[in-house]
Structures are given as C-alpha cells and as structure tokens.
C-alpha cells in the first residue's frame, strides 16, 4: 500500500516537473458520466457528482483534454476504459482555462 502511494507520488511529481504546470484541482474516485468530442482541439468529459470542474470560478462541469497534450492518447484511453468498465478515476486539473475549448484542462487521469 505504501509502495503504491510512493509510486503515484513520484509519477505525479515527475509529470509536474516535466510540464511546469501547477496542479490546482483534484477530483478523486469519480465515475465518468459523459465523453464528448467535436471540432474543437479537445475531448470534453464530465464526472458524476461534479457541478464545477474549476475549483475557482467557472461553474461548468466540463473538463477538457487538449489533443496537443503529450499524454492525450493515454489519458483518453484511461477515460474510455473507466467509462466502459464502470471504474472510477482520479482527475487532476491545472485550473487553467483552455481558451480554444472553453473549459478547464485536465492534466492527469488515474484509473482506479
């Protein structure tokens, strides 16, 4: 159990140092309610029971995965796997609005 915690911590820390992104929002043990893709350069998703993805201001329940993000395909795969198997995820956001998508950026997806 402790090993799992430390592994997650070091993975999280290495991602944070590589992307120079300050992580702000954390949404643990949530189920995916909807995944949506359209013409925007993001895939959008919502979590059950979350009414505001932005911990500061937006009030929108939508999260955005930027298609230009280095781990986009991996994060999308985790979201789709969680939705199809009814597993929960932990989502971490940057609390930065993705201007071209109009929603808060999700930067880390963990499948539980």
Backbone angles phi, psi at 36, to 5 degrees: -135, 135
The DSSP secondary structure of the chain, one letter per residue, reads: -HHHHHHHHHHHHHHHHHHT----EEEEEE-EEEEEE-SSSEEEEEETT-S-S-SSS----EEEEETTSTTHHHHHHHHHHHHHHT--EEEEEEEEEETTTTEEEEEEEEE-
> What does the pLDDT read at residue 19?
47
> What does the pLDDT read at residue 57?
59
> What does the pLDDT read at residue 17?
43
> What does the pLDDT read at residue 23?
66
Q: Mean pLDDT per 10-residue run, the chain (112 residues)?
A: 56 49 83 96 97 77 95 97 97 91 94 92
Q: What is the gyration radius of the CA atoms in the chain, in angstroms? A: 13
> What does the pLDDT read at residue 54?
82
**Domains parsed from the chain with CATH numbers:** 22-111 (2.40.50.110)
Q: What is the pTM of this model?
A: 0.78
> What does the pLDDT read at residue 15?
52
Nearest CA-CA partner of 26 in 97, 101, 111, 109: 109
């Amino acid at each position: 159990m402790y090993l799992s915690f430390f592994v997650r911590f070091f993975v999280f820390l290495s991602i944070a140092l590589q992307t120079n992104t300050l992580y702000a929002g954390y949404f643990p043990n949530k189920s995916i309610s909807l995944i949506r893709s359209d013409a925007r350069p993001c895939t959008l998703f919502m979590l059950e029971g979350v009414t505001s993805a932005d911990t500061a201001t937006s009030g929108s329940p939508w999260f955005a995965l930027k298609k230009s993000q280095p781990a986009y395909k991996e994060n999308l795969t985790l979201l789709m796997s969680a939705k199809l198997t009814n597993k929960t995820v932990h989502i971490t956001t940057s609390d930065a609005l993705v201007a071209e998508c109009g929603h808060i950026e999700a930067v880390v997806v963990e499948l539980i």
